[in-house]
Amino acid sequence: MIIWTIAKNSWVDQLRNRFYYLIILFGGVLLYVSLLVGVLAVEQELRVLLDLGLALIELLTLIAAIFVTTTSILREMERKTIYLILTRPVSRLQYLLGRFFGLLISVACAMALMGLVHLSVLLAKGWKFDLFYPLVLFYSLLKVWLICSLSMLLALYASSTLTAMSITLILWLLGHFGHEIAFLVKKSAGIKAALLQTVSYIMPNMTLFNLREVWQHPDFVFSWSVFGASVAYALLYSSACLFLSQRLFNSKEL
Amino acid sequence: MAMDAALSYLNVTKVYSRSHLGRRYDTLGLSELTLEVRAGEILGLLGLNGSGKTTSIKLALGLLTPSLGEVRIFGKRPQEDGTLKDVGFLPELPYFYPNLSPAEALRFYGRLSGLRGGDLEKQIGVVLERVGLEPQRKKKLGEFSKGMLQKLGLAQAVLHRPKILFLDEPVSGLDPVAIRDIRELLSQLSREGCTLFLSSHSISEVERLCHRVAILVRGRLARLVESAEWEKAPGRLEQIFIETVAK
């Protein structure tokens, strides 16, 4: 109940702040792009619109998620609004989980709304609905889930918004090079291999969630076991981040 | 520890440690503080900046952990389950989520304190009326003045009917009318049996409100003064305070 109360508070606070602006911005960009691609990509209009739209949704949500997660708890500490919460019968774990799920719900809502705008434009242009569309969005959400938990941990560790944001962005980028790092591990030996192996374990493996890039490939086959493994990975990785965040947060003096 | 102690500091020391480039820097926040606040009394903390007033309050609320000694609220450690449900806290210049209305903010804090349903809604009405914010019930907090925010701060602190109330600079930066309103509210709470523990720079306010005053100097309890004592003193509490901090 306490976790839900805090999550709802985060959600309402975010929705009244910058998320609507983000959606309006995205809607504007998307409509502008849809008009442009009609002129620039005569035969590939739908394909470009689909790919560009999905990439934009993921990117905008991700940037917003990193920004909001890294700033929210640190801002609460700075403004001391956290005092009014933690001086009640609320544990630090409950607070952390409440904030985390609240931010995640906000991000999921923003993503769903942006998806609806995108889908409306696609359908208006004559695209035939594919069930993989919501699944692609779900995979993007898993990426954001993972990044939210990682940026929360980094924000608590670094105690600086800019540092936490920069490191999260770097890890997010590196996370897309999972195959390349695995290749380098195979090609290396000794300490170098061990180091690269450690890095590959610590980094979030974003390649597991790249359905957006492969679902339209003619050879693509959907597998429930791969789906299950991806969800399990996201859950385990974010649980580990949240566990470490809680340890850090418990030791923090406010 | 006396049975009727609402709050006890038992030989409490707080040292803030900070590391920079491999070196550790220690700052003494509070030193060997032993103090009891009796149930139902108003105890004021006076001291210069950095004397340990806010540290004492944060230690009691579990926001900080003592380096040595322990703090007890009604016999329990602040971190123990259920201790904080009897506690209310008004921080110095409280900040609220600017997009919420007072009723929404109180609903949030009330739920965190365990209030639900009809009882919560009734309490929101009662405390808003009490602090005089009922007419602004639906106004956004971003539009509130400092005095109104302070009143809302007090409303959230007493919403769940705490037995002990911690107030950090409750009249800081307020105009004379708002100060009078806050003072009247605090006196009323005390008459209802609530224990008040407040820190302040305003000697005249402390003098008017408190039954006892603890004067902190560089983290140490330098003097504990009863109201009867300053009422008899020629320069009243101000003279006692200045003599104590000048030593």
Question: What's residue A96's pLDDT?
Answer: 94
Question: Residue B195: pLDDT band by 50, 70, 90 thresholds?
Answer: very high
- Segment A45-70 shows an average pLDDT of 86
Which of B87, B95, B104 lies closest to A79 in CB terms?
B95
Beta carbons of B111 and A253 less than 8 Å apart: no
* CB half-sphere exposure, A133, CA atoms < 13 A: 19
Beta carbons of A6 and B99 less than 8 Å apart: no
Question: Residue A19: pLDDT band by 50, 70, 90 thresholds?
Answer: low
Chain B hits for A5, CB-CB cut-off 8 Å, are 108, 111-112
Q: pLDDT, tens digit, for every residue of B120-144?
A: 999 999 999 988 888 888 899 989 9
Number of structural domains chain A divides into: 1
Report the distance separating Cα B111 and Cα A88, nearest Å. 10
Please, which residues have CB within 8 angstroms of residue A251's CB and are 6 or more apart in sequence?
none
Nearest residue to A109 via CA among A20, A30, A32: A20
Question: What's residue B1's pLDDT?
Answer: 47
Chain A hits for B85, CB-CB cut-off 8 Å, are 88-89
Question: Residue B230: pLDDT band by 50, 70, 90 thresholds?
Answer: confident
Nearest residue to B211 via CA among B235, B191, B181, B239: B191
Pairwise pLDDT comparison (B9 vs A29), residue with the higher score: B9
**Start-to-end C-alpha separation, chain B:** 30
Question: What's residue A221's pLDDT?
Answer: 80
Position A175 pLDDT exceeds 70: yes
Q: pLDDT, tens digit, for every residue of A183-228?
A: 888 888 888 888 888 888 888 888 888 888 777 777 878 888 989 9
Least confident of A60-74, A92-106, A208-222, B93-107: A208-222
* CB half-sphere exposure, A83, CA atoms < 13 A: 27
Chain A hits for B65, CB-CB cut-off 8 Å, are 253
Is A217 in the B-facing interface, judged by CB distances under 8 Å? no
Question: What's residue A214's pLDDT?
Answer: 78
Residues B140-144: contacts with CB within 8 Å, 24+ apart? B140/B98, B140/B99, B140/B100, B140/B101, B141/B96, B141/B97, B141/B98, B141/B99, B141/B100, B141/B101, B141/B102, B141/B105, B142/B98, B142/B99, B144/B96
CA torsion angle B72 A93 B114 A103 (round to 10):
140
Chain A hits for B169, CB-CB cut-off 8 Å, are none
Chain A interface test: which of B108, B112, B140, B152 (most A C-beta within 10 Å): B112
Per the structure, the complete domain to which residue A214 belongs is given by 2-251
Question: What's residue B109's pLDDT?
Answer: 95
ipTM: 0.89
Phi-psi region of B186 (alpha: psi -120 to 50; beta: other; left: phi over 0): alpha
Question: What's residue A18's pLDDT?
Answer: 64
